[in-house]
Amino acid sequence: MLEARFHPQGSTEYFVVGELIWQRRTERDFPTVEPARKLTSATDAPTTLSKLRYLITATAPGSFERLQRLRSRFWSFVEVTPRSAKELIDA
């Protein structure tokens, strides 16, 4: 699982766009995108998710590894462990 983070221009902070979940990590497998709860209420959510899906497609095949190596001042991808249901509710 990767956490997709967006770093807005001119800010030192980032916000979590969502989690990318692979059922199998084969070279040709694409992840399921689970948008962050806070993102789903944002007005620019469709644009941000569209850009995320573009990055997934652009780094295929092997997007799990290639996204983590992506050099971008706006995006970062960090491997995380699956969260428990309680953690997701409390987030």
Per residue of the chain (91 residues), give pLDDT as tens: 999 999 999 889 999 999 999 987 666 788 999 999 887 666 788 999 999 999 999 999 999 999 999 999 999 999 998 765 445 444 5
Per the structure, the complete domain to which residue 43 belongs is given by: 2-90
Residue 25: predicted pLDDT: 67
Tell whether pTM > 0.85. Answer: no
- Count of domains for the chain: 1
Distance CA 91, CA 79 (A): 18
Residue 88: predicted pLDDT: 47
Close Cβ partners of 80 (under 8 Å, ≥ 6 residues apart): 1, 2, 3, 19
Residue 89: predicted pLDDT: 40
